[in-house]
Amino acid sequence: MLTKLKELKETAQEAEYEEESDDEVTPDDTIVSSYNTAKRIRMELQDQHKAEKQAPKAAREARSSSAKPLDHLSILWHLVHICPTVLLEDLKPSCTAPTWSSFQAFLIPDATPATVISYGPFFPKSPTDPDVVEQSVQYCMDVSRKQGQEFTIITCDQAIYEVVLGLQKKNPQKYAKLILRMGGFHIAQNFLKAIGHFMQTSGIEDIMVEADVCLRGTANKIISGKDYYTMLRAHTIVHAAMFALHWEVFTKWLITEEKDLECISVLAINVQLLLDALSEKDVEKASSACADATDQLKELSRLMTEFDEVCTSPTTKLWLMYMDMVMILKRFIHAEHAGLWEEHLAEVEKMLPYLVAAGHCKHVSCLPHYLEAMRSLPTLAPNIHREFKDGKFTVCQTEGRFNGVWTDMALEKTYNRDAKTKLFTGISQQPAAMEKYLRALPVLTAVSEQTKAMAHLDMDDTKHNEDSNSQGTKEAESVRKITDVINNQMINPFSCEEQELMNISTGHKSASAWVNDHEKGLEALAAARKTDSEKIAPIKLATFAAKPKKSLSMAFKAKKVYEEESAVVRNLYFVQDLDEDKKVEVFSHEWTSCPVSLFEPDPSLD
């Protein structure tokens, strides 16, 4: 749980915690926090940052205004990456293009102070146990009350969110001052899984492997949603490459349709100014170039939308849908990094139709309630809403720019990480012994953190961790490899005229009905609202991964072609020493796992 505590004297805080511990915690009923309530993260700033606790109004407005046209900033970032290109041939990059996060951080001049993170006690039980959740919530409410807070703010994942909702419904008066939030990290992970669900076997895995972005096993993990950071990096690179391919086809359409290109000519001037500002690391000049390009970016966005609407190929629509989903994810992450509350809620709402269509029923059942509760904060808790709008709903582990994280991600990076220890090795595995050790873990962690601070091992640099040129160079090289692979070995999805949904790597076709999943998700949401239903009817959409069932003969089943890379390598190894005529003869036969003659009559064998 992350609670924003008011400023109190440290001695008074410690005294209250000690009193609370003496009065309430006993060996029999130790209050131990569960998965999401195990952490009490105070939003009290360190003494050296107290003067900066309230950000200047001008700085907050600048931060918000820089993020509002995020789609425009994204277009600028993409143009910086691909230039010189069609209609932008005269641009001369004078530095390595920054990564997406580094570019956004560059436009935010003010550093955010670090959040103070502290630990609560443990529960040696399941985190979703109703009794554990109830005791944890009560403990958190008691702490908030003692700190003089009117409301208690708890962030948790979907499983615990449902349990706490049940508590609120049973006793609404008792939990009237409880504000319940869903963890953004878990929302983002589920949305990444939804992206993988729609794009599975569409060719995206082959793109990543052929362009050396990752290995085959990693590509499969990216699609299945196993590793957040790997998934995010891969989708960011693929999205940038798709924008470059989209730009090539889009500019040809502009020329063919004889559209007015004045906006692009003026935009090119501002992009060059932005390139110069990035090279000179001049934030004011870069912000001015972005602001001056606003009108041209609006017109360019309108033309892009017009082009997208005339594309009729289901394959093109699928990859446009992919680009839209990745943009929603990037805006969602941007809102958290920059502390933009309204943008956070807006992007969660945009995720809903895709999550419905992907069949994420559990998250879909909670997100509408979460959005409704957060939208009602201006009326129910105006002070809390004001704090959220000021960006105080994120956690900054270090002082810096564009580095806010979701509260549940902060939990993963601190409390859960610290709990993964080898110190259980060699001690008794009895519950009493493990509980004794777990009680001491927060103290051990605090000593470790203080030792690092004393040795000056903590990172005090406000520089963003992706500001290095090497990171931008690697990303630009990966984008270039992907575009080359698609142009030379695959099908550009934005120039495809095939009226059936196609895998751009293999050419395999699939049903095209599911490319309109966003609309189907909206229809399901509208139907649930119309009937005032708490649950949304699941949508079953076929994807490339859904293979049609066919009745196959034994002879056909025996002709299974070796597609595994290892099998191909073995066969090539055995024929490498043959002469050219023998090689031609060998490769003229189909590679099957069993001789075809075992299942098909052959007169020559009689």
> At 527, is the pLDDT very low, low, confident or very high (cuts 50, 70, 90)?
low
CB of 543 closer than 8 Å to CB of 204: no
Q: pLDDT per residue over 276-320, tens digit each?
A: 888 888 888 988 988 888 889 999 999 999 999 998 888 999 999
Contacts of 249 by beta carbon, 8 Å cutoff, 6+ apart: 492, 494, 495
Residues with Cβ within 8 Å of 219's Cβ and at least 6 positions away in sequence, in order, are 204, 205, 208, 209, 213, 234
Residue 61, CA distances (Å) to 145, 391, 591 in order: 32, 11, 66
> What pLDDT score does 319 carry?
94
Q: List pLDDT tens digits, range 128-180.
A: 899 999 999 999 999 999 989 999 999 998 889 999 999 999 999 999 999 99
Among residues 89, 528, 482, 47, which one has the least CA distance to residue 272? 89
Average pLDDT, the chain: 76
Under the phi-then-psi rule, with left for phi > 0, alpha for psi from -120 to 50, and beta for the rest, what region is 281? left
Return the structure tokens found at 16. 């209250």
Instruction: Tell me: pLDDT of 422 over 80.
Output: no
When pLDDT is cut at 50, 70 and 90, the band that residue 31 belongs to is very low
Q: What is the pLDDT of residue 556?
A: 41
Q: Convert the pLDDT of each residue in 68-100 to its tens digit.
A: 467 888 888 888 888 887 777 777 776 777 888
- Note the pLDDT tens digit of each residue in 332-362: 999 999 889 999 999 999 998 888 888 877 7
Q: What is the mean pLDDT of residues 400-428?
A: 74
Task: Give pLDDT, residue 424.
Answer: 57
Confidence of residue 517 (pLDDT cuts 50, 70, 90): low
Model confidence at 385: pLDDT above 80: yes
pTM of the entire predicted model: 0.75
The proportion of the chain whose per-residue pLDDT surpasses 70, expressed as a percent, equals: 69
Mean pLDDT computed over 542-550: 53
Q: Nearest CA to 104 among 295, 345, 387, 330?
A: 330
Please give the C-alpha separations between residue 51 and each of 48, 80, 492, in angstroms, as whole numbers.
7, 38, 54
**Higher-confidence position of 61 and 534:** 534
Pair of tokens at residue 235: 């989708």
Q: Which residue has the higher pLDDT, 394 or 412?
A: 394
Q: What is the pLDDT of residue 537?
A: 63
In this prediction, residue 20 has a pLDDT band, given cuts at 50, 70 and 90, of very low
Pick the more confident residue, 53 or 234.
234
Residue 34's pLDDT is 31
Confidence of residue 63 (pLDDT cuts 50, 70, 90): very low
pLDDT tens digits, residue range 196-233? 988 988 899 999 999 998 988 899 889 887 788 899 99
